[in-house]
């Protein structure tokens, strides 16, 4: 199982995220990921770095790790723009981009509306996700679909791309693993034994990736990853 980390992007500058990416690569982790939000969930008073400029910088300061948004929300920009942004990153760092896509949910609505961006019904957002994911998959990009509903999970299975379950429990991971590739994301315990035990559970449930929320210590996470392997 590959192990990655969400970088701290809810900051006024990119220093912590770029330093974290370099350190994650040095420690042997497999991937670095960033949120695609206009502000931290429910906190419009706090800063958030734009995902795609940050991802371009990550492509430049790393050499080995995979990287990507987790997840890029369809509808924040036109579909052609979203696909072009992701394809640009794919060409900048061949073989390293993970294009994780999502539809957003009711918690995302306020972000869109605050900036005058439409927030259509879930079925329409899912159709946009299908179109974008298909184009990227057909271009040779690794695609994940962020799952929150059974309909989105079915879409991932139909397209033959990985389903990512944020804070998914091992039983849910194991169930989806019968349908296709499944990846996990979420927080892990702050101590080495606890993190290693959780990562082992996720691996045994069939996940091919575990993307951990930004930890209190990258060194602790890296040691837990080493023990799990």
pTM for the whole structure = 0.94
d(CA 193, CA 144): 29
| Ordered per-residue pLDDT tens for the chain, 229 residues | 999 999 999 999 999 999 999 999 999 999 999 999 877 777 877 888 999 999 999 999 999 999 999 999 999 999 999 999 999 999 999 999 999 999 988 778 888 888 888 889 989 999 999 999 999 999 999 999 998 788 899 999 999 999 999 999 999 999 998 889 999 999 999 999 999 999 999 999 999 999 999 999 999 999 999 987 7
Residues in the chain, overall count: 229
Domain boundaries, the chain: 2-228
Q: What are the residues whose beta carbons fall under 8 Å from the beta carbon of 192, sequence distance 6 or more?
A: 220, 223, 224, 227
Q: Which residues contact 114 (CB under 8 A, 6 or more apart)?
A: 38, 44
The 8-class DSSP code of residue 107 comes to G
Asked if 132 and 113 count as a contact pair (C-beta separation under 8 A), the reply is: no
Is CATH 3.20.20.30 correct for 2-228? yes
Type and span of the H or E element at 126: helix 122-138
């Amino acid at each position: 199982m590959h192990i990655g980390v969400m970088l701290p992007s809810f900051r006024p500058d990119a220093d912590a995220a770029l330093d974290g990416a370099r350190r994650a690569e040095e420690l042997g982790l497999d991937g670095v990921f960033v949120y695609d939000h206009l502000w931290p969930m429910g906190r419009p008073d706090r800063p958030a770095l734009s995902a795609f400029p940050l991802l371009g910088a990550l492509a430049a300061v790393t050499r080995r790790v995979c990287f990507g948004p987790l997840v890029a929300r369809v509808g924040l920009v036109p579909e052609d723009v979203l696909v072009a942004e992701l394809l640009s990153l794919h060409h900048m760092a061949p073989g390293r981009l993970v294009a994780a896509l999502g539809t957003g949910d009711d918690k995302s609505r306020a972000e869109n509306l605050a900036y005058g961006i439409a927030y259509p019904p879930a079925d329409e957002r899912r159709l946009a996700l299908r179109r974008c994911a298909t184009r990227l998959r057909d271009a040779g990009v690794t695609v994940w679909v962020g799952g929150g509903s059974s309909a989105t999970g079915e879409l991932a299975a139909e397209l033959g791309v990985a389903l990512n379950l944020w804070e998914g429990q091992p039983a849910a991971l194991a169930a989806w693993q019968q349908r296709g590739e499944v990846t996990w994301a979420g927080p892990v315990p702050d101590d080495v034994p606890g993190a290693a035990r959780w990562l082992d559970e996720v691996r045994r449930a069939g996940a091919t990736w575990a993307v951990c929320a930004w930890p209190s210590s990258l060194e602790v996470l890296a040691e837990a990853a080493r023990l799990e392997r």
